[in-house]
Amino acid sequence: MPKITKLNDIAKKQGFRLGDDVLRIGGYKMVDELDYLFYDNEKKFSVDILRDGKEHTVKVHKKEGQSLGLEFAIDMKPVVCKNKCIFCFVDQLPKNMRPSLYVKDDDYRYSFMCGSYVTMTNVTEEEIERVIRLKLSPLYISVHAWDDDIRTYILKNPNTRKLPEQMRRLGANGIKMHTQLVVVPDVNDGKVLEDSIRGLHSVEGVETVAVVPVGMTGHRETLAKLKAVDEQNARDTIKLVEGLNAEYGGNFCWCSDEYYVKANIDVPSSSYYGAFDQIENGVGLIADWKDNFEYSLSEVPTMNLGKKIDLITGVSFAPILKEYAKKLEAKLGLKAEVHAIVNNFFGKSVTVAGLVTAGDIIDQVGGVKSDAFVIPDNMLREFTDTFLDNKTVEEVEAALGAPIIVVSHSGSDTAQKIVEHFENK
């Protein structure tokens, strides 16, 4: 039962006290803070509380825009995934990593709050009604295939057969949805992929579709044998998806950047990606990075720093970074060398910068003489200085014998961070 741990003067005047247990808001059981946040935007609503063993009803009357400032003792533990997806990335992780990395969450609340993708297989009828009532929009939904049999094969959970009906109901009630299709060659590519995109386009409320190639690490010994996306498959998929996107007006479905890298095709310009609704899914990241990097460079003066920096990235992004490193050299008067780190930790098939580990960096650039190494912040756990293999930035600096400059993976502050580092020395 949620207990009030903090409140403001407005809440006190309404009759709330610290320690009150909240039973219902607006006549509905309070599940978590999402209930409160929805009703806190209203001017009038009722809250049923338990105080000293007795139930009371607080009739809230406040001005528009006012907040009660309530905070609660609630543990919003993510709901655990009940699927056994044939390409589950968590199942492909090495042993002895942080326990939190092995948590398989599939929680519609975190989909709304954080943009996490969910399959909806564990969502109850009551929760569907709650999503609609609280207007939890948009949601991010993993579909993978519109065909029920193929989707069930992929997720290994018969509950996924309810998904089309769930999505149609959500859409009809004003809930917007962003979707993803993780594609496995010979499973849900080609005609199946086309049918999936067309099926999603027929559903009211579906805003976008991201088409993402299956990711496979080197730790799949006991898992289903899957075919990796190769250059020809990537080219065929890009042609299909770009054709459908044009047919639907240009702002509906896109391939992730990884498809273009695998196909050896330049990514489209940023104008192709509309509002970048799927950027967290790797759709338009490179185009956005290029724009941000150019702007970052324009914001610093031409200089002659006379230093050598070493830019650390994954194998897939290295060719692009090398091209732009030359612009850094020209503008800042320094030597910039790019290092494509081969991912021995997860497996060489993993080429993205965000999964590069400290151990691989130390092993591969440990002997490089540098005034500073530069890494993107998505190599680190969010809000920390810790890599995926639990080593810290400080430990890597000690091993490399040089400082590390952490820059935004969006490219928005690369030049500024480099200049600031050397100017403060």
What confidence tens digit (pLDDT) does each residue in 124-136 have? 999 999 999 999 9
Q: Are residues 297 and 240 in the same domain?
A: no
Q: Are residues 296 and 349 in the same domain?
A: yes
Q: Are residues 357 and 222 in the same domain?
A: no
Q: Are residues 109 and 258 in the same domain?
A: yes
Residue 98 pLDDT: 72
Q: What angle do CA 297, 298, 299 make, to 5 degrees?
A: 90
Q: Which of 227, 251, 282 is the last residue of a domain?
A: 282
pTM: predicted TM-score of the whole model, two decimal places = 0.92
Q: Are residues 248 and 278 in the same domain?
A: yes
Residue 125 pLDDT: 96
Q: Is residue 81 part of a domain?
A: no
DSSP state of 69: -
Q: Are residues 278 and 154 in the same domain?
A: yes
The secondary structure element, H or E, covering residue 213 is: strand 206-213
Q: Are residues 252 and 113 in the same domain?
A: yes
Q: Is residue 272 part of a domain?
A: yes
Alpha helices (H) along 256-352: 257-263, 285-298, 318-332
Q: Is residue 82 part of a domain?
A: no
Q: Which of 39, 73, 107 is the last residue of a domain?
A: 73
Q: Are residues 391 and 327 in the same domain?
A: yes
Indicate which CATH number applies to the domain containing 69.
2.30.42.10
Q: Are residues 105 and 144 in the same domain?
A: yes
Q: Which of 282, 304, 339 is the last residue of a domain?
A: 282
Indicate which CATH number applies to the domain containing 297.
3.40.50.2300
> For residue 87, is it left (φ>0), alpha (ψ between -120 and 50) or beta?
alpha
Query: Could you read off the pLDDT of 136-185 as tens digits, one per residue?
Result: 999 999 999 999 999 999 999 999 999 999 999 999 999 999 999 999 99
Q: pLDDT under 50 in the chain at which residues?
A: none
Alpha-carbon distance of 349 to 87, in angstroms, equals: 14
Q: Are residues 155 and 172 in the same domain?
A: yes
Residue 155 pLDDT: 97
Residue 348 pLDDT: 93
Residue 1 pLDDT: 84
DSSP state of 3: E
Q: Is residue 83 part of a domain?
A: no
Residue 141 pLDDT: 99
Q: Is residue 352 part of a domain?
A: yes
Alpha-carbon distance of 316 to 286, in angstroms, equals: 11
Indicate which CATH number applies to the domain containing 231.
3.80.30.10
Q: Is residue 78 part of a domain?
A: no
Q: Which domain holds residue 345?
A: 289-423
Q: How far is CA 150 from the centre of its chain?
A: 25
Q: Is residue 268 part of a domain?
A: yes
Q: Is residue 18 part of a domain?
A: yes
- Report which of 130, 165, 149, 415 is spatially closest to residue 299, judged by C-alpha positions: 415
Number of domains in the chain: 3
Is the bond preceding residue 319 a cis peptide, omega within 30 degrees? no
CB of 375 closer than 8 Å to CB of 339: no
Alpha-carbon distance of 227 to 237, in angstroms, equals: 15
Q: Are residues 59 and 98 in the same domain?
A: no
Residue 145 pLDDT: 99
Q: Are residues 344 and 387 in the same domain?
A: yes
Residue 401 pLDDT: 97
